[in-house]
């Protein structure tokens, strides 16, 4: 029974919702600024006007009374009693330029962001049990949820396939290597398929239907046979496939290869426009996680050869198929990640509305200033609607859930539920089964009956989910230590 002392010590000073709180804190500290940096320049149709965005800030929850008087201290219990949303104001530094001359600069209020209870922006953060009781709060409350129109809403953790990870699978015509390439809000599935006739094809968003791998490699800068052979490992089976594909590729130069792609993405256009559009499509939609600049094309070519190598090896039985149900190939999106998706979508709509307001103001020949073109409801309405209904972007439903507070265990299960995006009306036997890698991570028993069986799961009480980490410092450290990358 000595082990129970360890278990009690583990739970004594631990908050069950800490991973949700950490995820939301990371969203506020890092992800908001990244979203603003993605859209830091706004250039409307009228080219002489430009707006620069910077320094997004979220205040602690506050309230504006019916008579217009603001009040900074607004606690969660008051939000529950008065059926209000527990939210902080979003302010953004905006600079208005006209003909490259700065005309107006101000810190503009652009909307409200719901604040997670017990997060770093919440008034309850860091309070003692006695202080929480004085504020009308339950001292044993975990936090990790939001208050929307007086209702407590928990965001259900979403289970998704890992991005930027190559997975090998069998297809009716042969073998395919697939990767979900993610850059900001954009997710593009790139597939390199080795067909039974030995030919290798590539599909990616906006690509021709049957685009040969070697045509794309030539368009990316690997023009000569020796360059392509050097990119592949020296294995007899792979070398045979490389020579077969080389002989069946009609495009001889980089320009011819680009023109083949251009004829699909810009049919009927002149050659120069076709070539330019082909380059734009390759830069924007092919493996965006590697980069979206001209200098990244060669790195994309080598990444595609790595995917093709894995597909060829699987076809010849030199490599096994990847298991999509293995938990190393899954990622859990916590509240912070879900709020990041929602805010990015809302912010894009805000920018679209900003462009419209600028164009309308100039067309009507009114004075242009930041105060008249900013409409805070553009962001607030979309965030509040998604969190009230649970209908998230990407057609996800049931993401936001009304939190049951009948007893101590009910909110505990609500905060640790994990939902799969798979269709509940399909059989999907393997996806619903308990996998060996669930051990110690997911509860094998706690799952609902009926169509959602196996698709809604619960995290174990001692399981923890880490937040995103930047890989650049690790890469820099490895480079300093002299670590060399081995060709896969």
Q: What is the pLDDT of residues 86-145, one digit of tens each?
A: 999 999 998 888 887 888 888 889 999 999 999 999 999 988 889 999 988 988 888 999
309 and 353 in a common domain:
no
448 and 398 in a common domain:
yes
pLDDT at 200 over 50: yes
Cα 181 to Cα 486: distance, rounded to the nearest angstrom: 22
How many residues in the chain? 488
390 and 294 in a common domain:
no
For the record, the structure tokens of 321 come out as: 């198929």
Domain count across the chain: 2
- Tell me how many helices (H) and strands (E) the chain has: 17, 18
Domain assignment present for residue 267? The answer is yes
User: What CATH number did the domain enclosing 199 receive?
Assistant: 3.90.1110.10
For the record, the structure tokens of 279 come out as: 């380059």
Dihedral angle at the C-alpha atoms of 13, 19, 22, 28, nearest 10 degrees? -150
Dihedral angle at the C-alpha atoms of 221, 225, 228, 233, nearest 10 degrees? -170
Tokens 């709020």 correspond to 339
Q: What is the mean pLDDT of residues 412-420?
A: 89
Residue ranges making up the domain that contains 75 = 3-159+331-458
311 and 381 in a common domain:
no
452 and 369 in a common domain:
yes
User: What CATH number did the domain enclosing 42 receive?
Assistant: 3.90.1100.10
Instruction: Please name which of 337, 307, 318 lies closest in space to residue 165, comparing C-alpha atoms.
Output: 307
141 and 12 in a common domain:
yes
Q: What share of the chain is helix, strand, coil (3-state, %, to 5)?
A: 40, 20, 40
- What's the whole-model pTM score? 0.89
Domain assignment present for residue 178? The answer is yes
Which residue(s) pair with 112 in the sheet? 89
Using one digit for the tens of pLDDT, what is the confidence trace for 360-392? Answer: 888 888 888 888 888 888 899 999 999 999 898
Q: What is the residue-averaged pLDDT of the chain?
A: 88
129 and 30 in a common domain:
yes
Cα 267 to Cα 255: distance, rounded to the nearest angstrom: 16
pLDDT at 485: 64
- Give residue 475's pLDDT band: very low, low, confident or very high (50, 70, 90): confident
Using one digit for the tens of pLDDT, what is the confidence trace for 138-167? Answer: 888 889 999 999 999 999 999 999 998 999
- Give residue 1's pLDDT band: very low, low, confident or very high (50, 70, 90): low
Domain assignment present for residue 63? The answer is yes
Domain assignment present for residue 222? The answer is yes
């Amino acid at each position: 029974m000595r082990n129970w002392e360890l278990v009690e010590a583990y739970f004594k000073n631990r908050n069950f919702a800490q991973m949700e709180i950490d995820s939301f804190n990371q969203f506020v500290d890092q992800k908001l600024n990244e979203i603003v940096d993605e859209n830091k320049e706004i250039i409307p149709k009228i080219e002489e006007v430009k707006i620069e965005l910077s320094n997004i800030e979220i205040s602690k929850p506050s309230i504006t009374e019916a008579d217009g008087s603001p009040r900074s201290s607004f606690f969660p219990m008051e939000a529950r009693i008065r059926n209000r949303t527990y939210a902080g104001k979003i302010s953004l530094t905006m600079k208005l330029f006209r003909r490259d001359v700065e005309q107006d600069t101000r810190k503009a209020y652009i909307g409200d962001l719901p604040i997670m209870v017990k997060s770093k922006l919440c008034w309850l953060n860091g309070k003692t049990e006695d202080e929480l009781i004085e504020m009308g709060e339950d001292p044993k409350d975990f936090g990790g949820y939001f208050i929307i129109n007086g209702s407590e809403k928990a965001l259900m953790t979403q289970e998704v396939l890992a991005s930027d990870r190559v997975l090998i699978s069998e297809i009716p015509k042969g073998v395919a290597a697939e990767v979900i390439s993610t850059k900001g809000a954009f997710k593009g599935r790139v597939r390199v398929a080795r067909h039974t006739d030995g030919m290798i094809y590539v599909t990616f968003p906006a690509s021709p239907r049957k685009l040969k791998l070697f045509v794309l490699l030539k368009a990316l800068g690997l023009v000569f046979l020796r360059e392509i052979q050097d990119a592949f490992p020296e294995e007899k089976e792979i070398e045979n496939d490389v020579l077969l594909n080389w002989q069946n590729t009609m495009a001889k130069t980089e320009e011819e290869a680009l023109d083949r792609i251009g004829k699909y993405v810009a049919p009927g256009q002149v050659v120069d426009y076709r070539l330019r559009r082909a380059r734009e499509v390759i830069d924007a939609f092919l493996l965006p996680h590697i980069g979206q600049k001209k200098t990244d094309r060669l790195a994309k070519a080598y990444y595609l050869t790595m995917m093709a190598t894995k597909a060829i090896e699987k076809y010849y039985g030199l490599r096994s198929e990847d298991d999509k149900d293995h938990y190393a190939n899954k990622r859990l999106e916590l509240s912070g990640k879900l709020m990041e998706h929602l805010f990015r979508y809302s912010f894009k709509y805000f920018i679209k509305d900003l462009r419209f307001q600028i164009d309308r103001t100039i067309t009507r020949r009114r004075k242009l200033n930041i105060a008249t073109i900013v409409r805070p409801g553009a962001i607030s309405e979309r965030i509040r609607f998604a969190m009230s209904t649970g209908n998230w972007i990407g057609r996800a439903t049931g993401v936001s859930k009304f939190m049951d507070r009948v007893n101590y265990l009910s909110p505990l299960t609500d905060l640790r539920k994990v939902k799969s995006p798979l269709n509940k009306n399909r059989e999907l036997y393997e996806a619903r089964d308990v996998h060996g890698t669930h051990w110690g991570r997911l509860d094998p028993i706690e799952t609902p009956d009926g169509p959602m069986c196996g698709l809604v799961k619960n995290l174990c009480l001692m399981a923890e989910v880490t937040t995103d980490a930047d890989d650049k410092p690790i890469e820099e450290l490895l480079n300093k230590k002299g670590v060399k990358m081995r060709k896969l």
